[in-house]
Amino acid sequence: MLNVKDIEVAYDATQVIFGLSVVALPGQVLCLLGRNGAGKTTTLKAIMGLLPLRAGSVSLDEVVLSELAAHEVPRCGVAYVPQGRRLFTEMSVAQNMDIGLMVSGAGRATREKVLELFPRLRERLTQRADTLSGGEQQMLAMARALCTEPKVLLLDEPVEGLQPSMIALIRDVIIRLKSENVAIVLVEQQVDAVLAIADTVAFIEHGRCPETMAARELQNDASQLRRYLGV
């Protein structure tokens, strides 16, 4: 279980996260839902140790991630697919995946398993990452993350700007990962993209998480969506 407890995060003098707590369970999708600028990306960066905590803690099972250096966090089983994907664009599909494999020391079996999830990447192993379509780049970013054999996968707006067929593929992969007991933290601004696959929705507002709901409840009662997202 990923336990984010009472974290406070600042960019220099400007604090943007104020005592935020969320929990992500194995085999479940936790969706962080909130408007632009609410603090969703900052929260993911803080989990990865890319921003220091002013207070609070992040732990995965018994390991206190927030006491580790940032480069140690992926080795503990947390993978991060940043907003905008951030691939090594001049490298091939295979080389991008190798970087993920190096993090975990995983081998061919992991690579095969990941390529099974993304058959399209197998057809394009030698192709340069920057020549892939937007949807294929998102697949590669996820594939690279999955090559680290994560227990927790953080996805920052993974379907942003993608066409419906790609969104459906990525959704299928998320459902498959759930069945393999990965804990998934999914950041979104739009509820319709996630409600069907989310287990829990944590609303993020002005750097806080004032409310967490079962996704099921939200389907029956849309009033919280109006409140937090203005929809």
3-state DSSP percent of the chain in helix, strand and coil, to 5: 40, 30, 30
Query: Any contact of residue 92 with ligand ADP (CB under 6 A)?
Result: no
Query: For residue 146, what are its two tokens?
Result: 């999955």
Total residues interacting with ligand ADP, rule: CB under 6 A: 11
**Residues between 129 and 188 that touch ligand ADP (CB under 6 A):** none
Of 142, 75, 149, which is closest to residue 107 (Cα–Cα)? 149
Contacts of 19-23 spanning 24+ positions with Cβ under 8 A: 19/55, 19/56, 19/208, 20/56, 20/204, 20/207, 20/208, 20/209, 21/56, 21/209, 22/185, 22/202, 22/209, 22/212
Q: In angstroms, what is the minimal distance from the CB of 31 to Mg ion? A: 13
Instruction: By CB under 5 A, tell whether 224 contacts Mg ion.
Output: no
Q: What is the closest distance, in whole angstroms, from the C-beta atom of residue 208 to Mg ion in the complex?
A: 16
Strands 63-64 and 53-60: antiparallel
Please identify which residue in 3, 41, 104, 224 interacts with Mg ion, judged by CB under 5 A: 41
Sketch the per residue contact string, 105 through 134, with ligand ADP: x for CB under 6 A, - otherwise: ------------------------------
Among 2, 4, 16, 154, which residue interacts with ligand ADP (rule: CB under 6 A)?
A: 16
Q: How far is the CB of 105 from Mg ion (least distance, A)?
A: 31
Interacting residues toward ligand ADP by CB under 6 A? 11, 14, 16, 34, 36-42
